[in-house]
Amino acid sequence: MAALDYRAFRYLGPVDPDGNRGERPITVEWALRYAMPHDLARSGRIAG
């Protein structure tokens, strides 16, 4: 099993629950309280 690269994760601030659906597994959605920084959002986009 490959080692986890923690650089792939960023703390984007506090979140609030925004809904859920399904069960086993349940999907929980979260809403950021503050907008994601523009440069971070741009660098995370998939080219295409």
Is the pLDDT score of 31 beyond 90?
A: yes
Whether 15 is in a domain gets the answer yes
In a domain, 30, yes or no: yes
pTM over 0.85: no
Within a domain: 14? yes
Q: Is 34 part of a structural domain of the chain?
A: yes
C-alpha gyration radius of the chain: 14
pLDDT over threshold 70, residue 44: no
User: Does residue 5 fall inside a structural domain?
Assistant: no
User: Binning pLDDT at 50, 70 and 90, where does residue 37 land?
Assistant: confident
Q: What is the dihedral of CA 18, 8, 13, 22, to 10 degrees?
A: 10
Position 21 in a domain: yes
CB atoms closer than 10 angstroms to residue 36: 13
The number of domains in the chain is 1
Q: How far is CA 14 from the centre of its chain?
A: 12
Question: What's the domain range around 23?
Answer: 10-43
